[in-house]
Chain A
């Protein structure tokens, strides 16, 4: 009797859930890709991750944009003029720009969006990327007004930017996510919730169709985009998938067309995948490195830091652990920037390492205090740490304790310099060595080593003021030599590689590139 009464109730509950969870068959998007974790936001001023940046570059258009080979090309700005001193850029906007709600896009939109990202109350994680603009840093720190920031709009189609120093890479910087424009009236009207389906307004090649938490972000072609004929895909679904095996299963079963991240490919399968035509590896502008806390003994002594750096055999790490054909890193800046030759760094040299440790007062590691190596919890970090721990023990005779912390605790330990040696990585934001080297200027928030060198700071400042590109890159290379060959607050270990997976007979417009930029607007079915 009870069972008979229970069945309709249970069926009702199931049906209710079925309808609530919109579990129905829907047409497949033209392109389905695994995009990594759930996007934290689609507000470009608040974005700090690559997966959100990828979606934002489809939803908004900056003054410039990256093409499918990572090269910076004109976008909303059809052209720009540079003053003779290299410090004033005048951008000329295309006259046919429209927001997705039909409003015209003007130079004021760019100025207001940049000021919004700079405003302290926006709390943009990337506000410092504007600091090359005059008075931007002061405004961000609440020391000056918006009017004093070097942004002028003489007319609706002209934006004049006054820089503190000549920045030859400034036009390419305007393609960066934080520089993307937002529709100010929409932001004002809806507050924090403006970047959601139904309220969102943008000016990119795609518009936001749907966003289901932990499921997918659906984009559809924006009919008001200035060059709609260029866009070949009507709808794109970016799936939120964090587990590599799941992403790979989706790809293998044809439910996803594209994997855009090496993290979405099971590392154990990399050797088997290497020969397949749908596996596309390429270098990335990112480096895995260890940092020392130079404020504590024994790493206050540069000889100890040098000994630790020389004792590492980096080849073993990339051959046995990472196994993705990663190039070993002797410098912090990866190779691939035109005209920039990173310093040679330090090769593996166990004999010199032992000699240096002896000179520092620890022959064969005797009397060396117990130090720890901090890393955030991940299988790869642990394997690398175990290998390096063994190498230091073998070569230098020192005991290094491994200290594993989960992400938030690890970040706090880094910020508070509560470590001896710590794992780190850095991904370049723009194609210039400055994106790496600026981190280690005295007092920078990302320094996180306690290291300070007036010569290094001065070289970076001189490079900032230097109008000649060749001379500027030489100054940066000299600074990097101090960082990776002399003072050694860090030990670069290897440069990351990116891996794309897609069927080259089915898709075109995708090329591995240093900045890992793959604009959706250039992807299309092959031959169509």
Chain B
């Protein structure tokens, strides 16, 4: 059995490590390129959203490399994501591929279902083995998220801003290669040190921008045209409201294991504007925008794939939030376009707006 799974940002690093620890042979899909996008667009329904198409592209490229089992997440609620696995399975079957699709449904308190899925994958396996695989994967997931945060927090201050991405890319490789949890920790402090050693611009107060929106396009740089890097190199401190590990803690961990009450805080913050679940991350986009305002951010950018229903709801609410809190918000719809000129124009104009707003506030 050769297992594969879709890309989403740096997710492949922890997932690969976890699956290998479970004794599986893993085929990581080749990095996302235009070819992935072309394959996905060609074989997916036109009206489906970008993440579905990217997944299909990933699967095809992985199947070409010999994968025979696809691992995919499932879901419940109003977002179409819950059906992706099934739809994708049918698309690939229609194309004549021979493979097995295993869909991991969210727990919803039912651990038995999870064990059944794991059994499908690895047969009878000691529970301690599952635990150690999880722990290793989790350590790597935490580590890649941490260095992503570090890169974003360091980049705007650097004399040579492109160095942040260099250290970050290098760091991802180191974490990927780490053999043990201990090794992950050693590598992590090595990378931290490297970030600290970069030459910084003193007396520089960067603008601060928060990213909210649909998880896939926020986490996958190919689909958001490298927004973190673009903004960072314009001298902006970027913070993502969603990280893979946060999402897992919030959605998969039973509540007593959650380290912070972030989910609850977000809901409370969104309350005056939206007080129930609308699918996907619609509620979070509203709540996180309010939280960014409380944390003194200069602006918020909402990213979502074209036709994403939960985010369209958030998009229609955000102008009110923006006005109430005097916090500029820019909504950007991502689709299969790869032309960057129009995108950069909007980002630049938004940053200009924030700069001039801050300058004016300083004068007052």
Partners in one complex: no
Q: Hey, which bits of chain B sit against chain A, CB under 8 A?
A: none
Q: Hey, which bits of chain A sit against chain B, CB under 8 A?
A: none
